[in-house]
Amino acid sequence: MKQSEAKGRIEKLRTEIEEHNHNYYVLNNPVISDFEYDLLLNELDTLEKKFPEFRSEDSPTRKVGNDITREFQQYDHKYPMLSLGNSYSKEELMEFNSRVEKASGGPVEYVCELKYDGASISITYRNGNMVRALTRGDGTKGDDVTLNVKTIRSIPVKVKGELIPGEFIMRGEILMPRSVFDRLNEVRKKEELPPFANPRNAASGTLKLLDSRIVASRELDCKFYFLLAEELPHDTHYGNLKEASKWGFRVPDSIRLCRTIDEVTNFINNWESERKKLPFDIDGVVIKVNSLALQKELGYTAKSPRWAIAFKYKAEQVSTKLLSVSYQIGRTGNVTPVANLEPVLLAGTTVKRASLHNADQIALLGLHLNDIVYVEKGGEIIPKIVGVDHSFRNENSREIEFISYCPECGTELVKNEGEANHYCPNYLHCPPQLKGRIEHFISRKAMDIDGLGEETVDLLFSRNLIRNYADLYDLRAEQLIPLERFGEKSVINILRSIKASLNVPYSNVLFALGIRHVGETVAKKIAGTFRSIDDLIKADYDQLTGIREIGPKIAASIISFFADEENLSIINRLKEAGLKFREEAKTNTVSGKLEGKTIVISGVFQHHTREEYKEIIEKHGGRNTASLSGNTSFILAGTNMGPSKKEKAKELGVPLMEENEFLILIAED
C-alpha cells in the first residue's frame, strides 16, 4: 500500500471507529458486531505500525471507548479502566499463553471468569463505606452514578470484615436479568415507547437515568471481578476476589483457578453450552494472570493489560425467511439496506430485522425475495444475514436489486469510487438528512445544546419551525410554548442552552457543521491550521491535504461543502447569530522563535514524542504540517526518517534539523 493510500485509509478507519464507539458507549445503540469492530481496530493498528508517521495519540488504538454524558459530574479514575484484548480462536489464546509463559519463565496460573455483557462500574470504598461509583467513561474519568448504584441491592453500601483496606476499589459489571428485560420491554411496548435492543443496552441506559427511583425499580444486579488498593490482602487476583466475597461482594461462583492452559480451554468449552442456562447474557470468558507480581511485570499497552485477554464465543445462528428489504438514510446521506425478516428467536431475543450493510453485501449474498437466510448475532448484539439456503429458493423469486433513487426525496443515489456505500447527495433538502444534521449539530461534542433531542427535532421539523440548524437561533418562546410536551420551564431551558452555545469553541462549531468525513479530531486539526472559517473557505486542495490526517477524500468533501451557496448562506446566518468562527488566540505561547516557520516532523525522537513536538512548535509560534513542500522551513528529523522524504527534502532544498539542534534553537533546558 502506498503512503498516500495508507493515510486515507487510516483516517477513514479512525472516523468510522469513533462513530461506532459513540453508538456503543453513548447511544447504547451499536450497529456492528464486536467481531466486525475488532477487525476494523486490528486493521487500523496494523496500518499505524506499518506507517508510524501517521500515528496519533488521538487514535482509537490508543484509547478506550467513552460513555461520558453531560448530565453527570465526572471524576478521575484512580486506576485507569482499560479495555481487554479480544481473541476469537484457540490459536490466539495459545499465542497469549506463550507470551505470558515466556515472560514468567514457566507455567502460569490463570483465573477464568465469565465475560458478562453489561455496564462496567468502578466503586470506591473508604473506611468500609461507599463514597463514589463511576462508569468506565473514557478510561481515565467516568460519570458519577453513586446515587443510582446505591439503589442496586446486590451492591453493598457498607462492608465489614477482616483484612479490609482503608481505601479500596471494587470493579464489576452491572447487569439486567433477561426476565426483567423481557418484562420491561413489554411495558414499553404498551406505553408505545421504543423497546430496548438487548439487556446490555437496558442496563447501561438505566444506569444513566436521572431518577434513582426508576433505577431501583429495574432490578439491576452486579457481578464483581476486580479488587484494587495500594495494599491488598493477598498477592493473587483469585485470593483477593475470594476475600472480597467474604466482605459481602457478589463475586460469581463460576470463577475458576486454572493451573494449566488445558484447564482454561476446558472452562471455555464447558461454558459455551452452559451459558444458555444463565439468567444473564455473557459473550465469552476472561482469562487473567493470577499472580499480581507477574501482572505488574507484564504491564499494559496504551489501552489494554498484557496480563488478560477475552475469549469471545462464536455468534449463534438461525434460519428464517426474508420478507423484504427497506432502506434507511443517515445524516450524511449514507443508504443502509435493512432486511425485514419473519420473526425468529436468536440469542434470547426475537429478531425481525437485520443489517445488510451495503449493495456489495446484497450482491455477494445473491439475495432473492422470500429466501431462507441464515442470521447471526455478531457479538450477540446486532443481527446480520450471513448466507442463503439455496435449497428452499423458488426459481421464480425476484432478485433483490439495490435502489437507484433515495426513498425519502427521490434524488438519484451516488456511489463514489473507493467507497462501499451509496448516498443521497441532496443533503440540504432530504428530510432524514436535514433532521440528522440538526441532531448532530446539537449533540454534546458539537454545539452541546441541552433540552433538544431526536423527538423534539422531529416535532419542530414537522411544524416547519426549523429546516436547518441556523433556524435554531431564530426560535422564540411564543413559537414553542403552544407545542405538545413543551412547558414554559422547558422552553426557557432550551432557549437558554441555544444562547449558551454561542460560547462553543471554533473547532466544535466546525465539527457541528456536519461536513462529510470531518470528525471531531479532524475538525480540531483544521481549526489549528485555518484560524477562521473564512480562511478555510478559501483553502485549496493542496493546502488541505498538507494537514496531517487530511487525505484526498476529506479535502474534496470540504471543498464541495463550501462551494455550495446554500451552505455559505447558512454559515452567514450562524455568523450573524454570534457563533465562533475564529480560533481564539492561544495564551500559552512561550516565545516567537519559530514565528513564520513551517516545520515538518519526521522520524523517532528521544526527548519528546511527535505529538509533544507539535505542541512545542505551536508554543514557539511555528506551524506544523505533514506535507513537505518548497514552503517548508525545515524538517525536524529524528531517527528512522523515511528515505523518500529525505530525498524529496534534498530535491526541494529543505534543510534537516536534528533533535538536539532544535532544542538548542528553542532554548529548552
Is the CATH code 3.40.50.10190 the one for domain 598-665?
A: yes
Return mean pLDDT, the chain: 87
| Percent of the chain clearing pLDDT 90 (strictly above) | 47
Backbone angles phi, psi at 194, to 5 degrees: -65, 135
Q: Per residue in 198-246, pLDDT tens?
A: 788 888 888 888 778 888 888 899 999 999 999 999 999 999 999 999 9
Sorting pLDDT into bands at 50, 70 and 90, what band is 380? very low
Residue 67 above 60 pLDDT?
A: no
pLDDT at site 72: 76
Backbone angles phi, psi at 91, to 5 degrees: -60, -45
**Range with the largest mean pLDDT of 4-8, 338-342, 598-602:** 338-342
Q: Per residue in 283-326, pLDDT tens?
A: 899 999 999 999 999 998 877 899 999 998 877 789 999 999 99
Of the candidates 87, 85, 84, 90, the residue with the CA atom closest to the CA atom of residue 265: 90
CA distance 188 to 194: 7
Q: What is the 3-state secondary structure (H, E, C) of 447-507?
A: CCCCCCCHHHHHHHHHCCCCCCHHHHHHCCHHHHCCCCCCCHHHHHHHHHHHHHHHHCCHH
Q: What is the mean pLDDT of residues 7-32?
A: 71
Q: Which amino acid is at 251?
A: V
Sorting pLDDT into bands at 50, 70 and 90, what band is 640? confident
Q: What is the mean pLDDT of residues 89-97?
A: 90
Which residues are tagged catalytic? 115
Residue 57 above 70 pLDDT?
A: no
The C-alpha cell at 26 is 453513548
Q: Which residues 6+ apart lie within 8 Å of 192 measured at CB?
A: none
132/551: higher pLDDT = 132
pLDDT at site 572: 96
pLDDT at site 313: 83
Least confident range of 29-43, 247-261, 406-420 = 29-43
Chain centroid to Cα 422, Å, comes to 23
Fold (CATH) for 74-312:
D-amino Acid Aminotransferase; Chain A, domain 1 (3.30.470)
CA distance 86 to 35: 9
CA distance 171 to 151: 17
Sorting pLDDT into bands at 50, 70 and 90, what band is 191? low
**Range with the largest mean pLDDT of 255-264, 368-377, 587-596, 604-613:** 255-264
Sheet holding 282-289, edge to edge: 86-87, 308-312, 282-289, 110-116, 256-258
Q: Where are the domains of the chain?
A: 3-62, 74-312, 315-423, 431-577, 598-665
**Grid-cell match 434507511, residue found:** 328
Q: Per residue in 317-355, pLDDT tens?
A: 899 999 999 999 988 889 999 999 999 988 667 889 998
66/11: higher pLDDT = 11
CATH, domain range 3-62: 1.10.287.610
CA distance 410 to 387: 31
Q: What is the mean pLDDT of residues 61-74?
A: 61
Q: What is the mean pLDDT of residues 173-185?
A: 90
109/455: higher pLDDT = 109
Length in residues, the chain = 669
Superfamily of domain 431-577: 5' to 3' exonuclease, C-terminal subdomain (1.10.150.20)
Return the number of other C-beta atoms located less than 10 Å from residue 382's C-beta. Answer: 23
- Kindly tell me the burial class for residue 187, based on how many C-beta atoms sit within 10 Å of its own C-beta (0-12, 13-18, 19 or more): exposed
Q: Which residues 6+ apart lie within 8 Å of 513 measured at CB?
A: 441, 561, 571
Alpha carbons within 13 A on the beta-carbon side of 431: 13
pLDDT at site 222: 95
Q: What is the mean pLDDT of residues 502-528?
A: 90
CATH class of the domain whose range is 315-423? mainly beta
CA distance 112 to 474: 58
